[in-house]
Amino acid sequence: MQNSKYYHRRYRAANRDRLVEYKRIWNKKNRSRISTQRAVRYATRRDLFLNNELKFKFGISLEQYEAMLLAQNHSCSICGVPAAELKKRMSVDHDHATGKVRALLCHHCNAGLGYFKDNEQILTKAIKYLYEHTEQNDSIGKNETLSLEPNGSAALG
């Protein structure tokens, strides 16, 4: 058996280019077969694929993901949109510097944090910008200022 293993290893090493070309041609001829097999394999092992993805990217299991989802009442931790209304599953939000998982967010909130580079000062400036440029706030005196409370609410001062 070991001789066979050794022979095949040497053969593949010696004929690498020929085997790569053969596989490329075979894959091209059998695209629909490959697509069907991948779809069936994914459908039958969806949980396994998701568990592996979560483990690789974030270091959490599918069970931990589902427990987080349950703890958040199946909704986005920022905007509160129910997971059932989303086209995609909830995104795992994490600190890019430490890798620590924070919460589950809808795609829009997760992307928004990413676009603002998880920077509190930029987010504060964006909130002030929105406040200053909202029509309903134009009637409020210009001398009043907006301050952000530690709990995330805004207050006029």
117-to-54, 102, 110, 152, 153 alpha-carbon distances in Å: 22, 15, 11, 18, 21
Average confidence score pLDDT of the chain: 89
Task: List pLDDT tens digits, range 25-71.
Answer: 999 999 999 999 999 998 999 999 999 999 999 999 999 999 999 99
Is the distance from CB of 129 to CB of 148 less than 8 angstroms?
no
On the 0-12 / 13-18 / 19+ scale of CB atoms within 10 A, 56 is: exposed
Domains parsed from the chain with CATH numbers: 1-44 (no CATH), 46-118 (3.40.1800.10), 119-157 (no CATH)
- Is the pTM value of this prediction over 0.75? no
